[in-house]
Structure 1
Amino acid sequence: MTYPDGPLPGLPTDRAELLAAAAAEYDRYQPGVPPEAADLLADTLRDLPDPTLLDLGTGTGQVPKALLKALPCLDYIEGGDWSRPMLDQARTALTPELGNCTLSLVQTSAEVYAPLAPLPGEQWWTPDLITCCRAYPWMSGPDVLARAHRIASPQASLAIMGDGTLWTHKADWSQALRRLIRQYLGAVRADVLGALPKPLRPIQEELADSAWSDVSEHRFPVTRSWTPQRVLGYLRTTSFAGTGLFTGRHAAFEEEARTLLDDLADGGDLLEETEFTVLLARRPAGAR
């Protein structure tokens, strides 16, 4: 079952436009949530009746999709994102997986998110788990944490997750690819585009000074195998090598990148060794 989407005010447009161009390929090429991380999230909900999820910066719904596999009894999902094409793709990807779970998608930024009003006969809901995967650096962290505190159920958990990008990966093949991107975009511009926004303070400090001060850190080693074609598809969905950044030279870039990656792969796959990190936070009893 799905609820109608509903936009809320205060939507930023610059990053929304960037993601809109990549929505069709994002779900296909972006790495999902590792099953071990999904199991950790599911463990926070297993003993709750009718567990509910709020996923902020949901993109194409990768967190809900992973959690539905780990916890089929999930009762309600609400996902928020500022890109309408991303939400449309999320609905397409999640609808076949829902079973008896209800899905609601809201076009909004995390800083101004508010729960959708219930349909007639339904009660207001409060999330038992709030997640943010790879999107937190783009958000105003303290504002998001304060809003999460206001809307979450008393027993809720909050998870901030991520694992870097191929831009920051340090294998020989990914560094060679980064050099090629810098040649096409200009070194300074490429370095700016490749760097994630840095919070004023480390996320752990922001959590410690928020209501969500009971924090545990979980690291899951991940090995990914990339074909050259998959790398090119992934790059088209990123903020540092998206199609629109190349001002008419994208076809030439992809041709040169494919040749480079084919040579480096030498008939096999390109390996990425990384860690998927989950900061799992709860509120001490007095802060709920």
Structure 2
Amino acid sequence: MSYDQDLFAGTAAYYARYRPPYPAAAIACLVDGFRLGAATPVLDLGCGTGQLAVPLAGAGCRVWAVDPDPDMIAEGSTLLPPDLPGQVRWVTARSEDLRATDLPPLRLCTMGASFHWMDRDAVLAFLDTVVEPGGGIALLSGSASIFSRSDGLEGAWLEVTREVVTEFLGPRRRAGSGTYSHPKRSHEQVLASSAFGAVEAHRFTTTRPLSVDAVIGQQLSTSYASPTQLGDRLPDFRRELARRLEAIVPPGGFPTVEHTDVILARRGGGEAG
């Protein structure tokens, strides 16, 4: 599947407000693993509203943040702190449409919960032309999807939310104008057949309470339950999900475990430089 603009149509404001941030330890893993620092060039593909681009800019990197959805780019550009002027270049484009001349030699390309939407082999072949020796790729999972295959989330609200989403949108997971099928090859298998075959994996776990509003907002930030998918049923969806969640929410919100998986991939067996 290609990571096209309509996948997340209507979600940008929810994405910016409700998507869980990547843990500081996961960001530090990238910074330390690839020795990122002042003005290090980094490409963030499928950047959304800057969940990776903004903290990497805060670490001193010079970030090219690329997403096909202009609303994501517009929303993300408003979230960059004023003390980081010029640290992020926001670009509306599909990953498959980038050219080597659009970018400097890169230390790192990051993809946060976006690689599965792309033509992965083609993207890796392109990155082989722009990532410098000693550089590499970092893939980070998200933890907003209730349909995660990697146990990205744990919480009492999940079953209720799945039920309501299925009742309103059907049993097939939606994605833009079609439905979603998980890639048959794992990211690790795809990387193994690329120039970036030296792979290591890390998992970071955080716990935080989620309010009813936060659970609903997370769903509206997704490709499968976006405002565009729901259409004129959006108000009914919000009311019904809120009603069922409020019946079970404990004081202080739903205790929720969020797992973030990080895959670091380098050229061959080399070290990050």
Q: TM-score if structure 1 supplies the norm length?
A: 0.82
- Residue in 2 that maps onto 1:166: 146
Is the 1:223–1:271 Cα contact (8 Å) retained in structure 2? yes
Deviation at 1:253, TM superposition (A): 1.7
Distance 1:51 1:173, change over 3 A: same
- Alpha-carbon RMSD: 2.5
Superposed displacement of residue 212, structure 1 = 0.1
Map 1:184-195 onto structure 2 (within 5 A): 184-186=168-170, 188-189=171-172, 191-192=173-174
Asked if 2 retains the 8 angstrom alpha-carbon contact of 1:222 and 1:273, the reply is: yes
- Structure 2 CA distance, aligned partners of 1:50 and 1:96? 17
Specify which structure has the higher proportion of helix: 1
2:104: which partner in 1? Answer: 125
**Could you tell me which residue of structure 2 aligns to residue 198 of structure 1?**
182
Amino acid at match of 1:160: L
- What are the superposed Cα offsets for residues 162-181 of structure 1, whole Å, 9 maximum, x if unpaired? 04413444543211111122
The question of 1:82 aligning with 2:62 is answered no
Q: Which has the larger radius of gyration?
A: 1
Give 5+ residue unaligned stretches, structure 2.
Answer: none
1:148-170 deviation digits (Å, cap 9, x = unpaired): 11111112121011044134445
1:109 is aligned with what amino acid?
R
What displacement does 1:285 show?
A: 6.6
2:15 is aligned to 26
Task: Name stretches of at least 5 consecutive residues in structure 1 with no aligned partner.
Answer: 1-11, 118-123
Q: 2:96 aligns with which of 100, 111, 125?
A: 111
Query: CA separation of 1:258/1:280 partners in 2, compared to 1, >3 Å: closer, same or farther?
Result: same
What is the number of equivalent residue pairs in this alignment?
Answer: 263
Match of 1:44 in 2: 33
**What residue identity is the alignment partner of 2:258?**
T
- Which residue matches 1:157? 136
Q: Secondary structure at the match of 2:133?
A: coil
Q: 2:175 and 2:254 mapped to 1: Cα distance?
A: 23
Inter-CA distance 97–16: structure 2 relative to 1 (3 Å threshold): farther
SS in 2 for 1:264: coil
Output the CA distance in 2 between the equivalents of 1:27 and 1:116. Answer: 30
Quote the offset at 1:48 in angstroms: 6.2
Any runs of at least 4 consecutive aligned residues in structure 1 with deviations exceeding 3 A, and if so which?
Answer: 44-50, 167-172, 191-197
> Hey, what does 1:239 align to over in structure 2?
223
After TM superposition, give the deviation of residue 232 of structure 1 in Å. Answer: 1.4
Residue 97 (structure 1) shift: 4.8
